[in-house]
Chains A and B, each alone.
Chain A
């Protein structure tokens, strides 16, 4: 892989030029990226485009949400036909919560950075997870503040060096471990250069009901791609340990395609889609919370990151379902549905006399 270009993954032969909606993949693109050439974030953008295309998503159904940072800018670079909101540093989680309440039919995709989520936005992130807001929340994790030119973020590894030579002496915050703690039922980690795994995880995350969070190690080639940084391309490539290979099959394709008795675990997604995990070198059970946390802790000690679907629970209703809202979006309910009758007011007035 080259560190200076971010080529699109060549489409596998069996994927047609248009998807089931008759849309070409190009329709899922946004405006041209203004990030540094070779930035890991651009690779993630490309996989989001591909995942949306392959999932046959109607662009107008999507709300693209982000905070502030190089990573957060990328919502402008995909799905040009969807509404997008580049909001406030560290506060996209709250915006997403409001979007969910106002129109739960929208597919919310959130893009954030490690600074945006783990530093300024940590509280809101955890509360969003706790509420189980319906969103696929992607953290483009480079261990630095890219946009403000290379300061340490809260996910910077202990011992990593800043460009000017300062070293970080604090342990990094592991957003995956925190999300699992907070009850998140879809927690995954990937690497911006691992297109196949990333695209599959994105498709699974976008199909999940409730909060799906994907922490994507995404090297900042300008400020954090040097010796001593654990979020450099080289380090990430050398220290990545994939948990399992994942094949994602959405509900309208034959489920049996990659399913092999004895070597796979099939996980039902609440919307009817399935995710199939191919175990590589261990019997990994993504429904075992304690095991996931233990592995994450161990990986941190060993300075390697596990990729794949780390944890998947099932059952907790997303926030909006817990609220028992009407089926139509609250946003567009007509006056007749939201303004009580004059008699009700008269009745209230009478009680105050």
Chain B
């Protein structure tokens, strides 16, 4: 029990780098719910005091019990009723047995980031039930498996006790399937208690099991059993109501890793190497599916190759070998894989070979919480390898950008003949996010400066590392080019502009300076930062990656609660550019929100703009759970002395 309560216990640690103020709030307990959340209002289907379309539902089950598809049905049904929604899966590093939680947040305002107050709890797991019930907000609604009713000690929540094990016998004669079907029954019960349209739930089932009508039947039946039993035995007080809305029309629900895979597909990736690691595996798994469907010629031959490597050193080796040969090559991994790839990363930088690594960030080394999220690889990715090394890093802040940046990574890698890292994270990569549908690329693939045999005919001489255009980016030729000038020798050791071996001090320095110039060119060509919200005052917020939704929600919270109107800039790539410097300069103070302990982006910005160091105040979150708006608001308001 101890370890489980540790997993769920919530720590907020706000660390201020400059003011050295460390505030440990809430002492490991949940914060009291804020009065501004869940503002009661009159609902059409409800009553005065109902909470409508602003509900966090947590479903506690055990890993391997097959709850995933039931949870997705509930999520999809809310989405199909037009209510903005997100689904976050908190799962253990285990195949079967340990507790797992799925959290659905329905938010009429479109706040799909994390929120920790649980309004509705579906408690199915004996292992975690004590903690789960403890964490339910006062006045919350509990759907409890009758087998677990002895654990109900709280009187300040509204409990509905459901004999799932009896109900499942009614609708599922097959003993083996009962565990699975039970999950669908709680969807039915929840559907009734949340005043949902059961037809919408059935539609979602039909969609999910389109190709398996028998399974669809079984599930539809189970939902009906749950819904009907609830309507006969339970009283719906309309405390929490999911009401039809129109805010999801035309939208899609997608996981970031699927979006990344789609980006790679449309980016024209031709060689994919990988070694499985949570939370990045589904990038390649999805990509393999997509490639299989959409990248075979009519005669069945493939226009791509995917290879599962023996480790991450080999994966990046494949990518570098393929990139050198001219393929658009990528790999996906997570922190431990990045560490193993570091030597090749340096070679890619120094010998100037295109390569793309997608890093879906998780915590720690070795197993180190593989199923929790963080932004802890920023610094490592930027400076990966040895000697003087800096890489282009793209940081998507949404599923849409996972798609766009995966595509752009392949372009930039070839344009700059170097390693490009795309930094996603578990929250973005493995959870369900709402988005506008992705648009087909408007830009052609950028293959960079490659000289063909015909080109070589026209040039006087070809120097592989010569800066012909003054942008620091040299020209290359691909192996197999039939021309006497085409060949060159690639090496990690010192080389001249003509790619000949050199250990001369000046040759080394000249080359390093050109690489720096190339990097300076990249500053203007990587995705620029965006002002996501223009406030009125002199307070700035900078964030990046999956913190985006939480920051946006926090902005509205701070305005509503204390009238604080900050301006928010989102960094989308490294290297940095003048716009970031100018933003910080123009503000009295800039809060830099990060999901890591060591203020990694702040360190990079302070190194780039030492004169602005004192204007940055870090808001740090690093317990493995996605950052939530409250964390950011509390911190900033406290610092602004408005709390």
Contact = CB atoms under 8 A, between A and B. Distances in A.
B266 A345 contact: yes
B438 to A, nearest CB: 6
Contacts of A211: none
A180 B437 CA distance: 53
A327 interface: yes
A82 B480 CA distance: 8
Contacts of B320: 87, 94-95, 98
B305 A323 contact: yes
A60 B478 CA distance: 10
Contacts of A345: 262, 266, 438-440
B349 to A, nearest CB: 13
B307 interface: yes
A82 B487 contact: yes
A320 B302 CA distance: 11
Interface string B437-473: 1111100110000000000000000000000000000
Contacts of A333: 268, 270, 303
B351 to A, nearest CB: 8
Contacts of B254: 352
Nearest to B253: A352
Contact of B270 (A76, A105, A324, A330): A330
Contact of A102 (B262, B267, B326, B477): B326
A61 B477 CA distance: 13
Given A103-B480, A340-B265, A349 B318 contact: no
Contacts, number: 224
A344 B294 CA distance: 8
A206 B234 CA distance: 78
Contact of A86 (B305, B439, B478, B489): B489
A119 to B, nearest CB: 14
Nearest to A30: B489
A81 B484 contact: yes
B314 interface: yes
Contacts of B20: none
A326 interface: yes
B483 interface: yes
Interface in B457-507: 477-484, 486-493, 500-501
A175 interface: no
A234 to B, nearest CB: 33
Contacts of A101: 271, 305, 307, 318, 321-322, 327
B266 A80 contact: no
A81 B487 contact: yes
Q: Which of B315, B319, B325, B483 has the most CB of A within 10 A?
A: B325
B270 A102 contact: yes
A259 interface: no
A335 B294 contact: no
B271 A103 contact: no
Contacts of B488: 83-84
Contacts of B582: none
A335 B489 contact: no
Contacts of B343: 88, 91
Q: Which of A82, A94, A96, A344 has the most CB of B within 10 A?
A: A94
Given A80-B487, A86-B492, A340-B266, A94 B309 contact: yes
Interface residues of A, number: 61
B304 interface: yes
Nearest to A344: B294
Nearest to A131: B307
Given A98-B273, A123-B311, A339 B326 contact: no
A16 interface: no
A129 B598 CA distance: 44
B318 A329 contact: no
B174 to A, nearest CB: 29
Interface in B331-371: 343-344, 347
B324 interface: yes
Contacts of B256: none
B287 interface: no
Contact of A98 (B266, B271, B482, B492): B271
A177 B454 CA distance: 47
Nearest to B321: A98
A339 B445 CA distance: 9
Nearest to B441: A339
B486 A99 contact: no
Interface string A322-352: 0111110111110101111110111011001
Nearest to A338: B268
B2 interface: no
A152 B444 CA distance: 53
Contacts of A340: 265-266, 294-295
B300 interface: yes
A353 interface: yes
Contacts of B318: 94-95, 97-98, 101
B79 to A, nearest CB: 9
A296 interface: no
A83 B325 CA distance: 9
A124 interface: yes
Given A86-B493, A345-B266, A60 B301 contact: no
A63 B479 contact: yes
Interface string A97-141: 111111101100000000000000001100100000000000000
B347 to A, nearest CB: 6
Interface in A34-84: 58-61, 63, 65, 68, 75-76, 80-84
B252 A353 contact: yes
B287 to A, nearest CB: 13
Given A102-B270, A345-B266, A60 B487 contact: yes
A341 B310 CA distance: 34
Contacts of A320: 305
A333 B294 CA distance: 15
A-B pairs, 10 with minimum CB distance: A94-B317, A98-B321, A331-B326, A102-B325, A102-B327, A95-B321, A98-B322, A338-B268, A83-B479, A342-B440
Interface of A: 31, 58-61, 63, 65, 68, 75-76, 80-88, 91, 93-103, 105-106, 123-124, 127, 320, 323-327, 329-333, 335, 337-342, 344-346, 348-349, 352-353
6 contacts: A58-B482, A60-B483, A101-B307, A102-B321, A102-B325, A339-B266
Given A86-B492, A88-B492, A94-B318, 13 more contacts: A31-B501, A60-B480, A91-B317, A94-B315, A95-B318, A101-B318, A102-B270, A324-B300, A325-B302, A338-B304, A338-B445, A341-B440, A342-B440
